[in-house]
Structures are given as structure tokens and as C-alpha cells.
């Protein structure tokens, strides 16, 4: 059975996208879902956030340039039997330029990760994109089954939501990825003490209904601190509100997409 591919994308930075990629991957693996996190961001925050060093030649840069394959780049994370990563490194910054020069440039990532999807060794592949709708993010959307959007609970973030949904529509209309679906919207950095947060959540739920996950990720110092120690929130503070929220979110993802 082939793996389900998720792209976690948002052209706006600082919305909890990589935090979500790290902690969703960890929580899924903890629940027995064999998960590969693919770090596509040249800043490699997902890589360092799981305690791995950037290593020359460790990223998908080579396979995207026709050298080697994605399966060779998969590394286990810690002692988990179910969590794996393809790390990023600074070379990935150059791939944006390389991809533009290739024929079918939007489909390069889809072809490269096909062995991951079809190997039968994994249940979920999670693509963590750079905070911009550049060539890597577009390739990610072209390769994914579902787009998961991390949306910060503020009004400016809602403008970005409209932009990325237009991109999804264009990719579908152009026949680049007819099967791409909006898998769901995760509300992040939610502060229940403010009226603004409640209003934004209310508007998004009114417009998107059940596509908005029930789980809301709280604004949390512990969530912000964990990556600087190279740890998921579950390793850093397993009893925190952030850890509980990402466990619930993983349960929702497993149920919604029949993972595991």
C-alpha cells in the first residue's frame, strides 16, 4: 500500500508550519504510523528541530539533480522504529534555480519521492516547505495528496490563506496535480484569552466548516523553546498544553486520512 503524502505549506513565515511538521511527524510515529518527514527548507529548521546536524549531501538536492535516489537519504530519528527524516542543508537553496531549468520542473519532486511513496515501508510522507511559494513549495504541492495549512489566529494570516488556495486551484486547473486536495486547516498560536483569536477561528470555521481541524494549537513558550534543544515538544515537555494538542491533532489526522 502506498504512503499518503502531505504538504505542510504556507507562504507566510512564523505561523507554526515547521513546528507542526516536527510534532505531527513525531506524534504519528509514536502512534505506530511509519512516517518520513522531508525537510525541503534550506534553513533546515525541521532537521535541527529533531536534533540532527546538517550534513553535506544528506538532502534531496542530489536526487533532484538526478544523482542518487530518495530512499538513500532516509535517516532514522532517535530510537523510534516509525520516525524517519530526509534532512535539509544549505545546498537546497540552489535547487530553486536548478529546477526552473528542468523540463516538467513542477513534477521533479513527485518523481523523486515516488520510491518513498511506493516502497511499502511508510504510511505517511510529510513535506515541510520553505515559507514562500517558490519552486520547492510548488513542487511540494504538485507531489502531495493533501495540503495541510497551519494558520495563525490573526487576520493578516487569513489573507495568505486565500493566496495559497488560489495556487492549489491553478495547479489543479493546469493538470499538474488533479488529485491535490485541501486536507485541512490547523489553527495555530491560539490564545483563548483574546477576542481576536476567537473571532478569527469563528470566521475560518464558518467558511471552511469541517475542513478546519477540531484541535487548536495554543500559543506556547514551551513549543517555541523545544526546537532550540533539538527536541519535539513530546521530548521537551510531554505534559505541556502543546504536547497534548499535537497528540489530539495526530489522532485527527489518523482518523481523517485512515493512516496506519
Q: How confident is the model at residue 260 (pLDDT cuts 50, 70, 90)?
A: low
| Mean local confidence (pLDDT), 232-249 | 96
The alpha helices in the chain, defined as continuous H runs, are 17-30, 45-49, 61-64, 92-100, 108-118, 135-143, 155-173, 195-208, 221-225, 233-236, 241-257
What's the CA gap between 93 and 43, in Å, rounded? Answer: 8
Q: Cβ of 48: how many Cβ atoms within 10 Å?
A: 19
135-174: b or e for each residue (b if 16 or more CB lie within 10 Å)?
A: bbbbbbbbbbbbbbbbbbbeeebeebbeebeebbeebeee
Q: How confident is the model at residue 15 (pLDDT cuts 50, 70, 90)?
A: low
pLDDT digits (tens, 9 = 90+) for 40-74: 998 899 999 999 988 888 899 999 988 989 999 99
The gap between the terminal CA atoms of the chain, to the nearest Å, is 11
CB 38 within 8 A of CB 127: yes
Choose between 22 and 78: higher pLDDT: 22
What's the CA gap between 236 and 242, in Å, rounded? Answer: 11
Mean pLDDT of the chain: 89
Check whether 169 has a pLDDT greater than 80.
yes
What's the CA gap between 165 and 161, in Å, rounded? Answer: 6
What DSSP element (H or E) covers 186?
Answer: strand 181-190
What top-level class would CATH report for the domain 4-254?
A: alpha beta
Q: Could you say which DSSP state residue 10 is in?
A: -
Q: How confident is the model at residue 140 (pLDDT cuts 50, 70, 90)?
A: very high
Q: What's the pLDDT score for residue 11?
A: 59
Radius of gyration of the chain (CA): 17
Please give the model's pTM, rounded to 2 decimal places: 0.94
Q: What's the pLDDT score for residue 14?
A: 56
Amino acid at each position: 500500500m502506498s504512503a499518503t503524502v502531505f504538504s505542510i505549506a504556507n507562504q507566510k513565515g512564523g505561523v507554526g508550519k515547521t513546528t507542526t511538521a516536527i510534532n505531527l511527524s513525531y506524534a504519528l510515529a509514536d502512534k505506530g504510523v511509519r512516517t518520513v518527514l522531508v525537510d525541503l527548507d534550506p534553513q533546515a529548521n525541521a532537521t535541527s528541530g529533531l536534533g540532527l546536524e546538517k550534513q553535506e549531501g544528506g538532502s534531496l538536492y542530489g536526487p533532484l539533480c538526478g544523482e542518487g535516489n530518495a530512499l538513500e537519504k532516509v535517516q532514522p530519528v532517535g530510537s523510534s522504529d516509525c520516525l524517519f527524516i530526509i534532512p535539509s542543508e544549505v545546498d537546497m537553496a540552489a535547487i530553486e534555480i536548478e529546477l526552473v531549468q528542468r523540463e516538467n520542473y513542477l513534477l521533479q519532486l513527485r518523481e523523486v519521492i515516488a520510491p518513498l511513496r511506493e516502497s511499502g515501508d511508510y504510511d505517511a510522507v510529510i513535506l515541510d516547505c520553505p515559507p514562500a511559494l517558490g519552486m520547492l513549495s510548488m513542487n511540494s504541492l504538485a507531489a502531495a495528496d493533501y495540503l495541510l495549512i497551519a494558520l495563525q489566529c490573526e487576520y493578516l494570516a487569513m489573507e495568505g490563506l486565500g493566496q495559497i488556495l488560489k495556487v492549489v486551484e491553478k495547479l489543479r486547473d493546469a493538470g499538474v496535480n488533479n488529485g491535490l486536495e485541501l486536507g485541512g486547516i490547523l489553527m495555530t498560536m491560539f490564545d483563548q484569552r483574546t477576542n481576536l483569536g476567537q473571532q478569527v477561528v469563528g470566521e475560518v470555521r464558518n467558511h471552511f466548516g469541517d475542513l478546519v481541524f477540531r484541535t487548536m494549537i495554543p500559543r506556547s513558550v514551551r513549543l517555541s523553546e523545544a526546537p532550540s534543544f533539538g527536541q519535539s515538544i513530546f521530548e521537551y515537555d510531554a505534559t505541556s498544553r502543546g504536547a497534548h494538542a499535537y497528540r489530539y491533532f495526530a489522532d485527527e489526522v489518523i482518523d481523517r486520512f485512515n493512516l496506519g
